[in-house]
Structure 1
C-alpha cells in the first residue's frame, strides 16, 4: 500500500474500518483468507489481522481447517431480531418448501437492494449448486426473472434511475436495451409474472412472481430456476404463482394491519381475493 492509500486508511474511523472489513465478505463471496480480506476491505494486512482477531473473540467470525474466515451465525441471529426481510422469509418458507418439492426445481425468495436482487432464501436441487442464487447472493436486477419483477414493483422513478446506470451483459440474451427493459417491465406490471430464458447462462431460465403486502405493494419475489430444453416454464409458472399468492396472503393476515376496508380494497386490486 502506497503512502496516499495509507493516509486514506488512517482517515477512516475505527467503525469505518470494521465496516469495510465486513463488507469484504459481500464482495468476496463467503470464505476468505486474511490476504483476501485485506484486499477487499482496502486495509493494511496488520490492520485487517487485528480486526479479524477482534471479530473472532466477539464471535462474529469462524475459521475453518484451511484458515479461511466466514461470518458466523451470530450475524444471522442479530438480523433475525429486527430485519424485515427475515420476517418475510418466515412467512414464505413453508410455501417455498412446498414449491420446491412440487416442482423439483431450485426456488428462491428475493428482495431488492438498490440496483441488486438479494436472495433471502434458496432451496437448491443439489447441495453443490454454484452461483449467486444462494442465501445472501446478489445479482443485477435486469438479469433474472425475479429481479425484473422487483424492478417492475419499484415504481417509474426507480426504473429510470436503474436504466441510467450500467447494464451488465452475461449472454447475448441478457436485456441491456433500456427501451426493451421498459417494455418488459410494463408487461410484468400487467401480467404479474416474468419468464427469463438464457439471461445469465444458456442452459437455464427463471420464473418470477411478485409477493405483495396488504397495500398491494411488491415487497419480494418468488423465483424458480429451470433448465432450458428440458423443463416447460409455462407449466411451472402456475406453481410459482400459487406459492407467491399464498405467501402474500400469509403476510396480509399478520396482526397490526391498516383499516380492514383499505386492506380489502388493496388485496382485490392485487388479485389476492
Structure 2
C-alpha cells in the first residue's frame, strides 16, 4: 500500500507542476545530480502541458517529478537503487481527480458480499454462500445489487427470508441509494405497518398496497440509515476501519484526489475526525 500511495502522489504532482508553469522543458534541460527513486521510460506520457503535451519518460524523486522528457536523457537519473519501469509503449497519465464521491460513506455501504450479478438467482446464491461461510457473523451485509433485476416495486423480504430466515440481512444497491432487508432486519429496526416514512415523498419503506407491511425495499438514504443504525450502529471506529480498507483501491485505479460530496451515515463531525487523524498519521 505504501508504494501505491507514493506512486499515486508522484503521478499527481505531474498535474500541479505542468499547470503551475511551463516548466517541463526546463526540467528536461536540467538533469538532477541526485538519482531518482523511480524512472518511467519508453512510454507515451500525457503531461497536460500545452507547450509539451507528450513525453517519453518521467523521473520521480520522493513525492516530486524531477524530470519529464526523453527516455535517453532519463538514464542520467538512474542510480543503484532506482526502480526502473519500462512502459513498453504504454500510456502514462496524471492522476485522476474524482469530483463527486462519498469515500467514508461508500466504505460503510460496500461492506460484505459483492452482489454485482446478472440474475436474481445469482444474487441470492452469493448471499447464501457468504452467510454459510460466515456462521459467526451476526448480520449479513452485501453491496451492488442492480435495479433492472427487479420490478419497479423492488426486491422483497421474502426472497431473502427463503435463504436466511434466522439472521438479519441488509443489502445495498449498486448506487447506494436503496436497500434490501429481510424480515428479521425489519423487525430489529422496529419497522411495522404504523412506522412513518423517514421523508414522505422522497424516502420511504416500500409497502404492500393491501397489508401496508414493509416489503423489504428501502427507498433512498434516510430509510436505509434508519434500518442500518438499528441493526448495526455505525461507530466512528467501524467507519474508520472500513475507510482504510477502501483506500488502496483509489491509487490502484489511478485516483489521486477526491472530493467528498457528503458524509451521510456517519456525520460530518466523525467524518472530519477520521480525515484529520489519518492526515496526522501521514
TM-score normalised over the length of structure 1: 0.22
Larger-gyration structure (1/2): 2
Greater relative contact order, per chain length (Cα 8 Å cut-off, separation 6+):
2
Which protein is richer in helix relative to its size? 1
TM-score normalised over the length of structure 2: 0.22
